[in-house]
Copies of this chain bind each other. A is one copy, B any other.
Amino acid sequence: MGIVVQNVERASSDIIDRLAAAGVATVHEAQDRRGMLGSHMRPIYAGAQIAGSAVTISAPPGDNWMLHVAIEQLQEGDILVLAPTSPCDNGYFGDLLATSAMARGCRGLVIDAGVRDVRDLTAMGFPVWSKAVSAQGTVKETLGSVNVPVVCAGAAVEAGDIIVADDDGVCVVKRAEAEEVLAAVEKRLAAEEAKRTRLAAGDLGLDIYDMRPKLEKKGLRYV
């Protein structure tokens, strides 16, 4: 505790932006169904779809001091990722901190705790994925750390990992795997389009994916 890591490598903005465009479900599938944060992480408003480099925060329950420390570490295109050291639903973050984070190019916040001023944040277009919405205030008394490895909502996140978030939740991509994941993403997107056309025309997945023999072999019985 009490450490701020300053030099964080980040993926290229091109890779990040193409992951954002693909969206969470595709990225998650493309990396072997890994990386999802827990499904309790919900957006404060519908429609945001972003990706960015994680600036991680490990913070004590009910203490948002480290957010101020983390904001200084932000670079254009980053996303704040806050994991409390034990379960907490306090409103660590509101419109003033969002104003500050936006001024430094931050794209959003992922927090396994609470957020407040959600009406203002929505009006500002600052997206947040959180466990709770709560106005419950916090103190500034105890150190945490910035840019250390954290576990946020059940997923391990290191500073510089890529966070992808949309209405389906939040997914983390390891920085070192980003290029490879992107390649798989784009292959997947290409394949999906053809399937969608066939399905829309009434073809069945049973036939498109040739599932009938395997189902029969497993013993599926039609009665």
State the A residues within 8 Å of B (CB).
Answer: 1-6, 24-25, 28-29, 32-34, 36, 38-39, 42, 45-47, 49, 60-63, 65, 68-69, 71-72, 85-91, 94-97, 99-100, 102-104, 114, 116-119, 122, 132-137, 139-143, 149, 151, 154-156, 166-169, 171, 192, 195-196, 199-206, 209, 211, 215, 218-223
Contact = CB atoms under 8 A, between A and B. Distances in A.
Contact of A205 (B68, B102, B122, B209): B68
A119 B1 CA distance: 29
Contact of A33 (B6, B36, B137, B167): B137
Contacts of A100: 199-200, 203-205
15 contacts: A6-B223, A25-B135, A28-B136, A33-B137, A39-B132, A39-B133, A62-B86, A68-B205, A85-B136, A88-B88, A96-B199, A96-B205, A103-B201, A118-B168, A133-B168
A99 B200 contact: yes
A204 B71 contact: yes
A33 B86 CA distance: 10
A20 to B, nearest CB: 13
B143 A151 contact: no
Given A36-B135, A89-B39, A192-B96, A206 B4 contact: no
Nearest to A63: B62
Max count, chain B CB within 10 A of own CB: residue among A4, A62, A97, A218: A62
A163 to B, nearest CB: 13
A149 B174 CA distance: 13
A171 to B, nearest CB: 7
Contact of A42 (B133, B206, B223): B133
A83 to B, nearest CB: 9
A135 B171 contact: yes
Given A39-B132, A133-B167, A169-B133, A62 B62 contact: yes
Contacts of A119: 46-47, 49, 166-168
Contacts of A220: 2-4, 69, 143
A25 B211 contact: no
